[in-house]
Amino acid sequence: MSMMLLAQACATGITNGLIYALVGLGMAVIFKGSRLINAMHGELAVVGAATAVYCVEIAMWPTWLAVTMGMLIAMVLSTLVDIGLVRRLFNRNAREESFLLLTVGLGFTFSAAVLYVFGREEHLLPAFGDEIYEVAGAIIREQTIWIVGIAAFILIGLKLFYKYTDFGLAMMAASIDPDGAATTGINVRLMRTATFALGGLMAAVAGLLVTPMIGVSYQMGPILTLKGFAAAVLGGLTNPLGALVGGITIGLLESLSIVYISSGLKDAVALSVLIVIMILVPDGILGRSGRKGG
């Protein structure tokens, strides 16, 4: 097995893993702030990316404006979902499966709406840069480096946000102990709305970053959600850094099983290893921080 192939497999695995991680990060943020699994996260990413593509290709807007629009739309959508629907369910103490059905249903709706408005074609956005780098024989696109940078930026930003800002602390407190938080004067409902807004924004960022690489289409939502979910859960769900590690783990597992076992058995091998990891490390890769997983 040549070194070059291994290098390329690792580079590809990490790139794909980062994509999963970006989606997973947003899901972890939403879980952290609301104890919910957002099954429409991939669709939010698609909505953000599709909006940007629409603005660039049909409305002929400059890319930066289109991208901002994409983020804004996903954020607004996510916020509206919280205010209009999630809040209602919380008010009546709905069970976990109700939230799951809600977000699955919304995912259906969003992807169908994208199909209806935007069509069936797969679209690419212009990349941040077209440079191509060669490292140990592996081809790495400039976009990948941007994704790494932005993922790191988001991660550090989230860490600082949750640790040092009053708002971040309040958001966390509101989800971990809603009653306790309320007695200390935190507006729990507002915090959850903020969480959803942040989650929507992160979904759009993920969608926008990956569109130059894999192309956006209406039917991409579920696969993004599934991979992001796997990344987030593997990382322990409440830990954004865990989602990053989880995503890269899955990306590398897939890539290496193609190289060393068989491309036909990629999913079977990668997911079997995933199950084994979960059994061995039941709290997620990053340990105890994942206790809140269930």
Partner 1 sequence: MPISLTRRTVLGAMLAPAIIRPTLGHAAEPIRLGAILSATGPGAGVGLPQRNGVLLAVKAINEKGGIAGRPIELLVEDDGSNPDAAVTKANNLIFSQKVKAIIGPTLTASTLSVGGVADPEKIAVMPFTGLGLEMEKQRRSVFHMLPTQDLNARALLEFVTKNMKTRKVAVLHDSAYGNIVMTKLKEVNATYNVDFVAAEKWEVGATDVTTQAAKIKATAPDVVLVIGNSATPFRNLRQIRMNAPLMSALGTASYEYVRAMGDAADNIIFAEFLVAEDPLPYQKDFVETFHKEYDTFPKTMEASAWDAVHAVAAGIAKAGPDATPAAISDAIRGPYAGAMAKFDFSAPDLTGLSLSSYVYSKLEKGKFTRVPFTAGQ
Partner 2 sequence: MKYSGYILLAIVWLALPFVLERHAIDLLVFCGFYAVAGAGVGFLLGQGGIVNLGQAAFYGLGAYSSAYCTVQLGLPAPVGILTGVVVSLCLAFLIGRPILRLSGYFLALATLALGIICSNLFYEAEFITGGTLGIPGVPKLSVLGFALDTPTKFYFLIWPVAVLCVLSMRSLMSSRIGLAMQAMRDAPEAAMVLAIDISRLKLWMFLISSVLGSVAGSLFAHYVGFVNVDSFGVERSIFFLLVPVIGGAASPAGVLVGALFVGLVPEALSVLGDIHRVLFGLALVATVVFFPDGLIGLLKRLADTCIPARRQALKMEQSR
CB of residue 24 vs partner 1: minimum separation in angstroms? 15
Q: Considering the complex, what minimum distance in angstroms separates the CB of residue 155 from partner 2?
A: 21
* Nearest distance from C-beta of residue 215 to partner 2, angstroms: 21
**Residue 123 burial by Cβ neighbours in a 10 Å radius (0-12, 13-18, 19+):** middle
What part of residues 226-285 is at the interface with partner 2 (CB under 8 A)?
226, 229-230, 233-234, 237, 264-268, 271-272, 274-275, 278-279, 282, 284
Q: Tell me how far, at minimum, the Cβ of 147 lies from partner 2, in Å.
A: 24
What, of partner 1, partner 2, none, does residue 4 touch, CB below 5 to 8 Å by kind?
partner 1
**75-102 burial, b for 16+ CB within 10 Å, e for fewer?**
bebbbebbeeebeeebeeeeeeeebeeb
Q: Which of residues 15-54 bind partner 1 (CB under 8 A)?
A: 15-16, 19
Hey, which residues does 134 pair with through a beta bridge? 139
Q: Considering beta carbons, is residue 13 or 178 the nearer one to partner 1?
A: 13
Please pick, from the candidates 98, 165, 184, 219, the single residue that binds partner 1 as defined by CB under 8 A: 219
- Residue 50 as a binder of partner 2 (CB under 8 A): the answer is no
Selection from partner 1, partner 2, none that 163 binds (CB < 5 to 8 A by kind) is none
Which of the stretches 67-75, 148-156, 166-174, 215-223 binds partner 1 when contact is defined by CB under 8 A? 215-223
88 forms part of the interface with partner 2 (CB under 8 A): yes
Query: Contact at 8 Å (CB) between 191 and 170?
Result: yes
Block residue for tokens 């058995």 = 265
**Residue 263 engages partner 1 in binding (rule: CB under 8 A):** yes
Q: Which stretch binds partner 2 (CB under 8 A): 3-11, 99-107, 131-139, 194-202?
A: 99-107
- Does 276 interact with partner 1 (rule: CB under 8 A)? no
Residue 9 near partner 1 by CB under 8 A: yes
The site for partner 1, by CB under 8 A, has a size of 38
What residue ranges bind partner 1 (CB under 8 A)?
2, 4-5, 8-9, 12-13, 15-16, 19, 115-117, 119-124, 132, 138-139, 141, 213-215, 219-220, 223, 254-255, 258-259, 262-264, 266-267
